[in-house]
Amino acid sequence: MFTGCLYLALGWLHHVQSSVAPSPASAPTYITQEGSMQKLVWSKEYVKGGEALTISLPQPETNDAYYKDIAILAYPANSTQAFSDTVLIPKVTSSIPGAKVQFLAFNSGGTTRFKSDSLCWIQYKYPQPFTCRSIIIHAGADQFRAHRLLVQVSNDGYDFTTLTRLEPPRQDAQNADAMVTHAIPAVSALYYRFVYDKAASEAGGDEPDAVHSSPALQVAGIYLSDEPVINQYEAKNGSTGWESRQSTAQQLPDSVCVPLQSIVDLTNKTSATGQLNWQAPAGNWVIVRIGHTTTSRHQNWSPRFREAFKKQHGYDLTPYLLAITGTPVQDAATSEKFLFEVRKTIAAKGHRLRHKD
């Protein structure tokens, strides 16, 4: 009888629960942090070039005091809000009288949620036209209805045009509380309205039963950005067990994708503690510090992942790692292809070594 499973060929260390109780005499197995399940993590720094920069790059998410760098990459910014001296903060209102909803615009890590079990809308009014290319929805566990909101725009607050209806990824229960990034066709407007219609947001037949038993809308945050992002990249980079539609050329035209030749590898200019020294060319730049840390959920990195990827697909993944973070590289098709090949490497047959009882 199979008692467990170790994914070893790529350095995977993942135990599958056994139906056979361990022997009382069996010794416990200890896994080092280096040998534990690993996931990719990253941080971003937005800088203005044209001078020598000395920057302490923020260390990405670190679990169990373990983190290792993989690469430090920079690319010319394809957005403007992060570099503006003026932060555009929307006034948030709702069609529900008395509802306090301003918190929805800020990712403060709180647990407050806006709830409604009937037709309603949430509205963002900006002090000047705001260009939006992506929307992050923070819904909470099993709250798929927030990912079906109808997105409308207006410049006068009276006449609204429907831009799109959000579509949820097919999520697994393990990561059902994670945020989801929706790519949308670029638009500039003063007003953004998110409409909830109970009938139009019914859960599909392939989603968890918990969704069907929770008919009300619940949402903890709606974050708008002018950064172009791969549609629902969280479902594609191996960090979840989700499934999602590919990005379209309408969502990610070539003009907003990062050309491969413009990506600068700054790994050899950065110390182990994240201290970067770089003569940055003129213009706005985004610096991404990419590394790996331990995880108890989905694993998308290992000590030999880079080697295995190159062997399987014939090219070095380093410059394409930006796509893992949601940044489109070269064009939508190239980014989607790379992420698909990442998932193929993770799921490649032959990585499983089974031990029989």
Q: Are residues 134 and 215 in the same domain?
A: yes
CB contact set of 337 (below 8 Å; sequence gap of 6+): none
- What CATH number is attached to the domain comprising 190? 2.60.120.260
> Among the three residues 185, 210, 227, which one is the final residue of a domain in this structure?
227
Q: Are residues 106 and 209 in the same domain?
A: yes
Asked whether residue 207 carries a pLDDT value surpassing 90, the answer given is: no
In-domain check, residue 236: no
Q: Are residues 307 and 197 in the same domain?
A: no
In-domain check, residue 243: no
Per cent of the chain over pLDDT 70 is 82
* Strand-by-strand arrangement of the 284-294 sheet: 38-48, 284-294, 68-76, 264-265
Q: Are residues 266 and 210 in the same domain?
A: no
Q: Are residues 268 and 330 in the same domain?
A: yes
Q: Are residues 102 and 201 in the same domain?
A: yes
pLDDT tens for each residue of 93-142: 999 999 999 999 998 777 889 999 999 999 999 999 999 999 999 986 66
Asked whether residue 153 carries a pLDDT value surpassing 90, the answer given is: yes
Q: Are residues 18 and 42 in the same domain?
A: yes
What average pLDDT does this structure show over 227-233? 97
Give the pLDDT of residue 121.
98
DSSP state of 11: S
Give the pLDDT of residue 30.
64
Q: Going by DSSP bridges, is the β-strand pair 352-356/2-7 parallel, antiparallel, or unpaired?
A: antiparallel
Residue 255's pLDDT band, with cuts at 50, 70 and 90, is very high
Residue 176's pLDDT band, with cuts at 50, 70 and 90, is low
In-domain check, residue 9: yes
What average pLDDT does this structure show over 45-68? 96
Tokens 């909830």 locate to: 196
Least confident residue range of 7-11, 37-41, 230-234, 310-314: 7-11
Asked whether residue 337 carries a pLDDT value surpassing 90, the answer given is: yes
In-domain check, residue 281: yes
Give the pLDDT of residue 139.
87
Task: Give SS3 for 162.
Answer: strand
Q: Residue 64: which domain range?
A: 2-78+254-356
Give the pLDDT of residue 142.
61
In-domain check, residue 232: no
* Helix, strand, coil share of the chain (percent; to 5): 20, 35, 45
What average pLDDT does this structure show over 87-92? 96
Q: Are 326 and 230 in contact (CB under 8 A)?
A: yes
Q: Are residues 121 and 200 in the same domain?
A: yes
In-domain check, residue 249: no
Residue 210's pLDDT band, with cuts at 50, 70 and 90, is very low
Residue 3's pLDDT band, with cuts at 50, 70 and 90, is very low
Where is pLDDT greater, at 208 or 340?
A: 340
Q: Are residues 219 and 321 in the same domain?
A: no
Mean confidence (pLDDT) of the chain: 86
Count of domains forming the chain: 2
